[in-house]
Structure 1
Amino acid sequence: MTTREDAADLIRRMQECFNSRRFDQAADLHTPGFFSHPLGVAGFEAGREAWRAVTTRFPGMRVVAEDILVDGDRAAVRSVVEGIAVPDGDARPALFEIFRFEDGRFAEMWGAGTGFPASAGPEDLVGQTRERAPLTAECGPASAVVPATPVPSSSRDPRSGGRSGPGGAGQQQ
């Protein structure tokens, strides 16, 4: 089992490899059978290709984890993306990723992004450089993510801080 500290350290090490453009060193952080659900492929080579494509388009891009939540062999990560110009008033790009760990390394990844300029998300850029399996709404690029439907205020439970139902699935954004 991966500890919370080990998982957070592994995520920060991966982001440091990305931010310093040491893509080859990041390969050691992934299991041989690592599977990227957004890219639909096994192995880290496709991830390395995605990193190269996105940093070619955005040479100043950096990824910084703001939240890392660990539960057992999985971690959810919310990262801000720096170095990509967005129009005034637009939200800064962000990545939302879930990782599964095995033997202290990344074994699987699911992810989505938001706030990227049109056709400039990591999965979109890789798709422009090679053919890949079709992406699904569950793990595809931000354009495939369906936003949550706001719950009318009359149906919210005031005792749950604005959330409705178990787990607050209807929380307004």
Structure 2
Amino acid sequence: MTTREDASDLVRQMQECFNSRQFDKGADLHTPDFFSHPLGTTGFEAGKDAWRILVARHPDMRVVAQDILVDGDKAAVRSTVEGIAVPDGDGRPMLFEIFRFDDGRFAEMWGAATGFPPSAGPEDVLG
């Protein structure tokens, strides 16, 4: 069973893997059969590829959890995204993700995003 503290820590670890560009270390946080609903893929390789595309387009991009709400084996996460230029007056881009955990690792993910410029398409942002 994944506790509330474990789930919050796991989310922060994953974001630190992204922010520090340690993508292989991020893979260790996911189950072998991890399923990404936005990408429609099993395993974390497609997620690592999406992360690489994002940082190639936006080298200064960082993701910071603002809210992590845990209920049973799931967590809802609202994160701000830093390091992406947005038009004046537009709010900071945000990610909204729901994760399901299995044995202390990410097993499944759903996601949505808002506020991203056209140069960061949703197919990249949701990876």
3-state SS of 1:109 partner: strand
Structure 1 stretches of at least 4 aligned residues deviating more than 6 Å after TM superposition: none
CA shift at 1:66, angstroms? 0.2
RMSD: 1.6
Structure 2 residue runs of 5 or longer lacking an equivalent are: none
Tell me the number of residue pairs that the alignment of Structure 1 and Structure 2 aligns: 127
Identity of aligned residues (%): 79
2:70 alignment partner AA: V
Higher relative contact order (CA 8 A, sep 6+): 2
Q: Any conservation in 1 of the 2:37–2:109 contact (CA below 8 Å)? A: yes
Structure 1 residue runs of 5 or longer lacking an equivalent are: 128-173
After TM superposition, the score normalised by the length of structure 1 is: 0.71
Alignment correspondent of 2:71: 71
Instruction: After superposition, give the CA deviation of every residue in 1:109-153 in whole Å (9 maximum; x if it has no partner).
Output: 0001100011513524799xxxxxxxxxxxxxxxxxxxxxxxxxx
Q: Any conservation in 1 of the 2:2–2:104 contact (CA below 8 Å)? A: yes
Alignment correspondent of 1:84: 84
Question: 1:80, 1:108 → 2: CA distance?
Answer: 21
Alignment correspondent of 2:45: 45
3-state SS of 1:111 partner: strand
Q: Which of the two has greater strand per residue? A: 2
Decide which moves more: 100-109 or 113-122.
Answer: 113-122
1:30 maps to 2:30:
yes
1:25 to 1:124, Cα distance in 2 relative to 1, 3 A? closer
1:125 to 1:110, Cα distance in 2 relative to 1, 3 A? closer
After TM superposition, the score normalised by the length of structure 2 is: 0.96
